[in-house]
Structure 1
Amino acid sequence: MSKQRLTFSTLLLFLGLVSVSGCGGGSSKSTNVGNNIDNAPVLQVPATGEAGDGRLTEIIEYLRIESNLPALAGVLIYDGEIIELGVSGRRAITSDNEVTLEDKWHIGSLTKSMTSTLAAKLVQENIIQWHTTIAEVYPELSDSMQSQYVSVKLSELLSHTAGFEENLPSLANYYQDNDEITIQRQKMVEEALMLQPNNARGEFHYSNLSYMVAGAMMEKLTGQSWELLINNYVFQPLNMTNIGFGAPDIEGDFQQPVGHSQSGNSWQAVMVTDSEIADNPPVIGPAGTVHASLTDMARYLSAHLTGARGESVHGFLSADMFAVLHQDTSGTGYSLGWGINDGVLIHSGSNTMWLAKAVIRPQNNTAIFVVTNAADLVSSDSKAVIATDKLIEEIRKRASLVYGD
């Protein structure tokens, strides 16, 4: 298995929320899955029901078993409140430890919206501006960087329109880099700015590297790591306390869920204590290394739901700042950390061992988050993609019966 684990390279993860038919009627039976992807048992299909009826866990259990996933989880938020949340499955196929409502889940590229939110906080405090250019932050690199990057603005980096490649070609080398993370990111910037542009400015090209450069710019202006900044400016103000970076099962003892990759027709648990790499190197942080509990994700999405409805979040961000975050100013279908589809904010993320998706619907004041600790993204009939799409659709239908469409 390759040691270089990169987040999704196409629009599939943040715009690929395909509407699929969901559940019907009946009840489910709790069953553990094995490690074979194709050995899911035949189950009775549970009724969709409606939000708040206490049956979400039953639906999650059914969809998990149907797709033979190690674990699956979901949460529905309405008007800033958690209406229902549920989990099903095991932390790893090699463990009997069941997932809990308090467990942490890797969210991959959903981290990008958090990095953009951090940028908004720093803009609001006049530490950086949306129009701040790379050369203004790195004047010492102006002569050595590619000419296209000199006048690239922070907002272009966060909207994937700066022209950067998807990933740093030497990213895997940073697994062995023992320098302080801020030093690593400054070295990364020097490499990135010498790369030939992938595309012209203004053209959309999804790029982890673009977000890595944006995070490094914020570090240089503040003298603090992106991890410390996002904790102080985003997580703490929103009371997100069950959150961190990298693979959540830090000690490799199944106290938290473990990510799984596809190996033939089987799932392979990727442990932090093995020679396998359980996440991307920390240098990629601003593009996708956060893990969080369902409750903390609900708090985060609630803030953006409030902002998407044209309101400020007291003590956090103004309505005007949220409007910048949620507006597709480049006409690409992407704002600053969010895909936009008919007023709905969407994004997904994966480090190839997890799959997380978020949907914010300001029209009916709801937000949905779903996640699984497995990903088979190379499959044309991905079990993880199908199951998470079905769960989103089921939660959406449950919500629409109570809160409208």
Structure 2
Amino acid sequence: MLRYSFEPQRTQRNAEETHNGWFALLCVLCVLCGSNSLGAQPRPVDRAALARFDAYVAKAVKDWNAPGLAIAIVKDDSVVFAKGYGVRELGKADPVDAGTRFAIGSTTKAMTVAALGMLVDEGKLKWDDPVTKYLPDFRLSDPWVTPQITVRDLLTHRTGLGNADLLWAGADYSTAEIIRRVRYLPLAYSPRSQFIYQNIMYAAAGQVVEAVSGMPWEQFLRTRIFAPLGMSATVPLLADLAGQPNVASPHAEIDDTMRVITNRTVDPVKAAGSVWSSVSDMAKWMKFILDSGRVGGNQLLKTATVKEILTPQVVADHEYPTFDAVHAHFFDYGLGWFLQDYAGQAIAMHTGSIDGMCAIIGLIPDKRIGVYVLENADHIELRHALMYQVFDMYLGNTGHDWSAELKKLYDGLTAQARTAQQRAEAQHVTGTHPSLALDRYTGTYHSDAYGDVRVTLNGETLHATFGRAYDGDLTHWQYDTFRANWKNRQSGRGTLVFVPDGTGGVQALRAFGATFTKIKQN
């Protein structure tokens, strides 16, 4: 049986040493960057500066072709700017304002961490407790690894599990069933040796909240976070939005045209990213974190717990192209927060992305500066530009037009992706035919982890279905490879590769990054 090497359990002393080392590194960076901003006071930002910023955002929204956007800025105990731009839905006149609700995506993760932090403060759990202490049925594929996984591991994307989003984004399972099926997925790396972003492990963290507190995760957030902070417009689940006013619609570019699309629910992995909110409410959340867990004189999270949350836990892959653009020197992950440097400052940030919606939160805790951006279009990376533009405005940095610079960067990356796609299409081998009669491809293909793909034949056309998101006709591409034209166009196009068994039948199907074995008919 394969064994995995584990790093020593991280103690509170180690955490403090890491935090102090992080601070020392920033001091060195200030010298290297010629910046004294670490000890200097933030630049005063007056009404004229905010008016210029308002005009800047309005122009940027048009430049990036964003249907709608909202942004809030917090300084100390005050919301100094909160405004909406554009429309909630293309083709309709309803404007976005500071109270418009959007999906906040993975910026939900910090709320799940805060919920666990409250339970830590109450002595009901410890960050380094094994997950099985609270979820006895929790299993990974290696029985030796399972009892070693801690609550901290769930929150830092280092459990050894690779990307498994197909379990919730494509299939149709409950939270409990999604987590049960994780036991059938092979580990992608030795736990605690790498960082692979993981939504399902945050869903498990949400179940820890439920097991320890005795209430559903969504109820815990409503009663312990949203209500005390006065976040009255915020709801924990997409299901809660039915009939609610002032809600943005998701958009995506399909066939080179920005179109309204349907919401993809994140509720099955709710603790990873299901919250909907407005920038007005998220400004209250930012003030809460910047004030070290206090609101209205009440300490909802201990200062030491907030410090631990914002302390680097693991080196993260700098998957954001903006990392190099802003010349950051390090990129780590805390508990529910990405941590990096910018202009000699320690930055805590996180993005949120789900079909047709995206978000970003950025904090400079030492200066008590926060910015939150919500957009109703898929991966409009203006969010990054506005975050850095706000930081520059307060730090007194000049010389960057982050909207223009990052638009050029992302336009270039988009062009590269299109070229790569064209090259892939050019590899198409023409003049081939399926090796079998079409009816030989039909049947049910099974994966213990993901479930079943069903392939049927309608006349001369094969048809495939999987979960709630994938349903469409197949057209022959080359050899035993077929292209899927999914009815839900936001799912894009799929490729299904059938594997013949050498005896006139098919033994397996490769699709969605997984292998499904054909179930033999009796």
TM-score by length of structure 2 reads 0.59
Aligned residues: 332
Q: Spell out the pairing of 1:100-115 with structure 2 (5 A cutoff).
A: 100-115=97-112
Question: Which of 355, 359, 371 is matched with 1:356 structurally?
Answer: 359
Residue 313 of structure 1 deviates from its aligned partner by: 6.9
Matched, 1:280 2:280: no
**Counterparts of 2:46 and 2:286 in 1: how far apart (Å)?**
18
In structure 2, give the amino acid aligned to 1:206: Y
Amino acid at match of 1:198: A
Give the direction of change, closer, same or farther, for the CA distance of 1:322–1:312 in structure 2 (3 Å limit). Answer: farther
Call closer, same or farther: CA 1:249–1:329 in 2, change over 3 Å.
closer
Letter in 1 for 2:180: E
Q: How does 1:245-394 map to 2 (within 5 A)?
A: 245-247=236-238, 250-251=241-242, 255-271=246-262, 278-307=263-292, 314-332=298-316, 333-342=332-341, 343-375=346-378, 377=379, 384-385=380-381, 387-394=382-389
For the residue of structure 2 that corresponds to 1:323, the secondary structure is helix
Residue 225 of structure 2 is aligned to residue 234 of structure 1:
yes
Deviation digits for residues 29-78 of structure 1 (CA, Å, limit 9, x no counterpart): xxxxxxxxxxxxxxxxxxxx945335143222111111111011211100
Partner residue in 2 for 1:52: 47
Distance 1:394 1:248 in 2: 35
Taking CA–CA contacts closer than 8 Å with sequence separation of 6 or more, which of the two structures ends up with the larger relative contact order?
Answer: 1
Tell me which amino acid in the other structure corresponds to 1:242.
A
Confirm or deny: 8 A CA contact 2:238 2:265 kept in the other structure.
no
* In 1, Cα distance between equivalents of 2:131 and 2:357: 32
C-alpha contact 2:109 2:272 (8 A) present in aligned 1: yes
Match of 1:189 among 179, 197, 202: 179
Provide the residue aligned with 2:58 in structure 1.
61
Q: Residue 158 of structure 1 aligns with which residue?
A: 155
Shift of 1:117: 0.8
Corresponding residue SS for 2:47: coil
The amino acid that maps onto 1:139 is P
Secondary structure, counterpart of 1:220 in structure 2: helix
What's the CA shift for 1:281?
Answer: 3.8
Note if 1:128 corresponds to 2:125: yes
CA contact (8 A) 1:303 1:313 kept: no
Q: What one-letter code is carried by the residue in structure 2 that aligns with 1:219? A: E
Distance 1:51-1:66 versus aligned 2 partners, 3 A rule? farther
Name the CA shift for 1:331/1:389 in 2 (closer, same or farther; >3 Å). Answer: closer
Contact 2:360 2:373 in 1 (8 A): yes
CA 1:73/1:172 → structure 2, altered by over 3 Å: closer, same or farther? closer
Q: 1:206 to 1:142 in 2, by over 3 A?
A: closer
Which letter maps to 1:65? K
What secondary structure does 1:150 align onto?
helix
For residues 8-47 of structure 1, the aligned pairs below 5 Å read none
- What TM-score results when the alignment is normalised by the length of structure 1? 0.75
User: What CA distance in whole angstroms lies between the structure 2 residues aligned with 1:301 and 1:102?
Assistant: 16
Equivalent residues of 1:146, 1:195 under 8 A apart: no
Report the CA distance between 1:164 and its aligned residue: 2.0
Q: Which has the larger radius of gyration?
A: 2
Aligned AA (1:58): A
Q: CA–CA distance in 1 between the matches of 2:132 and 2:280?
A: 39
Look up the match of 1:118. Answer: 115
What is the root-mean-square deviation of aligned Cα atoms in Å? 2.8
1:210 aligns with 2:195: no
Q: How far apart are the structure 2 equivalents of 1:265 and 1:66?
A: 16
Does 2:393 align with 1:398?
yes
SS at match of 2:84: strand
- In the alignment, the residues of structure 2 paired with residue 199 and residue 313 of structure 1 have an alpha-carbon distance, to the nearest angstrom, of 45
1:199 aligned onto 2:198: no
Say if 1:311 and 1:250 are closer, same or farther in 2 by CA, change over 3 A: closer
Over 3 Å counting, the alpha-carbon distance change for 1:246 and 1:232 in structure 2 is: closer
**1:307·1:313 contact (CA, 8 Å) conserved in 2?**
no
CA contact (8 A) 2:139 2:182 kept: no
Asked whether the equivalents of residues 237 and 315 of structure 1 are also in contact (C-alpha less than 8 Å), the reply is no
Cα deviation 1:222-244 (Å, max 9, x = unaligned)? 33211111222222222211101
* Secondary structure of the corresponding residue to residue 170 of structure 1: helix
| Contact 1:261/1:374 (<8 A) preserved | yes
Find the residue that maps to 1:227 and give its secondary structure: helix
Distance 1:196 1:395, change over 3 A: same
Matched, 1:84 2:81: yes
Cα distance in 1 for residues equivalent to 2:253 and 2:238: 17
The answer (yes or no) to whether the contact 1:104–1:248 under 8 Å persists in 2 is no
User: For residue 244 of structure 1, what is the aligned residue in structure 2?
Assistant: 235
Q: What's the CA shift string for 1:239-266, capped at 9, x where partnerless?
A: 2111013459944897421111120211
What is the alpha-carbon distance in structure 2 between the residues aligned to residue 312 and residue 251 of structure 1?
Answer: 31
- Between Structure 1 and Structure 2, the one with more strand by share is 2
2:352 alignment partner AA: G
Q: Counterpart of 1:139 in 2: which secondary structure?
A: coil
Aligned to 2:432: none
Question: Following TM superposition, by how much is the alpha carbon of 1:153 offset from its aligned partner in structure 2, in angstroms?
Answer: 0.5
Separation in 2 of the partners of 1:73 and 1:351? 17
8 Å CA contact 1:88, 1:98 repeated in 2: yes
